[in-house]
Structure 1
Amino acid sequence: MHSVFQSLSELHRPLPSKQPLLRKAWLRLSDQASPFFFGSGAEAGVQDNLVEVVRRNPAAASRLLYTTALFSSAGNAVSAGSCFVFLWIHWQLCATCDRPLRWWLLLQACIQLVQMPVRMALLYCVCQVEESGTGLEDWVVQLTSSKAWRLSKNLAIFQYGWFVLGMVWWMHTDSCPDCPAVSTLTAAVMSLSAVRATLAIAIFRALFRDGDLSVQEPAAAGATREQISALPAFRFTKALCDDQDAPCSICLSGFADGTLLRRLPCGHEFHRQCIDRWLRRNKRCPLCMASIECGPLRHRALEH
């Protein structure tokens, strides 16, 4: 994490007095805004899912984040700009609609405008990976633990509900005599949002195979005949058993006097035939999942 902060501090180091005043002001502003967009990494109580995606396949995640962030930023700019220009010209005319579509467009444009800095920060993270020499995961951890990222996620939830409300208003709009174009613009904004979501899903599936994000569990390995034969076997006697009603956990049948049992290193006992058949497929105890290769002392240490 230190390398990321070092890269940010070097980027915003003081400039000589010969630098243009505008550039000085911009770098000073960006230096003050950095703590809002890049956290320490330890501020997030639960790690964001995006970090896990980056950790599993950094190369594919880099292409995914760059493409979606660039397209989303451009889409937000086009959508918000179109709405603001349209409403500036036709605000009074849109008041004749039987549904408040102008207010939906105004708030939708404001939401998209507010989300743009976070998307640009994500794009900045991807671009800085090669220049700073740090890993993408470090940058994404910094971004996803920031206040700006948490605010953006909460805003995205609100935007989803606002989108559904706008869809209901648009579908039930019967008349808008003085400004029919407002309904067309509303449909276009909704369509652009749907296209962006579809494109993001398509890019994700194209870059990540089915196994890239799933936890691959190792296949269960069976025990060899020698390992099974080395386990102690004995005849069951009720007089020596404290819990006489305990059945075999595999066949759920009780133990009768003289029945041949086998005891695993973890201490659990089963019918010999039952556990031998189980161990040929899986060398772990069916009760506690301890391996028969784990000795009794080691098993007790793991329990504690």
Structure 2
Amino acid sequence: MDWDKLRIFHAVADAGSLTHAGDKLNLSQSAVSRQVRGLEEQLNTNLFHRHARGLILTEQGELLFDATSAMTKRLDAAAARIRDSEEEVFGELRVTTTTGFGTLWLAPRLSKLYDLYPDLKVDLMLEERVLDLPMREADVAIRFKEPSQADLIRKRLMTVRMCLFATKKYLEENGTPASIEDLSEHRLICQNTDSDQVGAGLNLIQSLLMNDVRSLLTVNNYFGVLQGVLHNLGIGVLPDYVVQEFAGLVRVLPETESAEVPVFLAYPEELRQSQRVAAFRDFVQEEIISYRKALRDQRK
């Protein structure tokens, strides 16, 4: 099968338009159209439904697009491995993690990584959905449970617990609860129980809501919970690492916390020799060591 035709078909399917695909490929619309028609004739099937608003893949087109997407990701992986130098760290590195961890812990530390490797281009993808690393949706993941896929290299980084926090100002104005029952006199800020979150955090929230919580603010991610707490709206359920990043926060009811949540770094076996991945892995591990030391110093 002609790879040029497949490449052009993939661009059209991705863009949903002959014109947009042509712009991306530096080809005229007529040239793109001829290549697509030629592929359809070769396969003896229609790959697109054509209408005034653009192109929609047929069932056969979707099957072929799945195949070309997988091929493109594999080719990207091969090109990345070829570009990786034995001594230099450069190029794009796609990192995925949760919105909360990526926003509150990882992103503030990335300036140190860029100081070490100014030619590195990090694409930070923050979402709760678990991206498929073997299919190259990302190069590296930081996940809050051990990855189950066998063809991944994984490294346990640390553990996190969900805890209760408030600002000093809020506690001065509203008092500090001495027991779970006292939360009825305060506003609880937490992720809503329908949002994607680690199971241990959900269990803690559900147990807190079993008490007489009269005022409640729910948000669909931890960054929103943090903003509510920082603006003195109430007592929030947040990961314990925020205490280092936001010195004005006070731990409330220290005996009330979630079970431990393991944090893993993972990447595909095929990127074992990647200098970009190795640089990021080593950077994160060094930052974890510094983070733990800072926590120990705070507790002294």
Same fold (TM over 0.5): no
Higher strand proportion? 2
TM-score (norm 1): 0.23
Instruction: Pick 1 or 2: higher relative contact order, CA cutoff 8 A, min separation 6.
Output: 2
Rg (Cα) greater in structure:
1
Higher helix proportion? 1
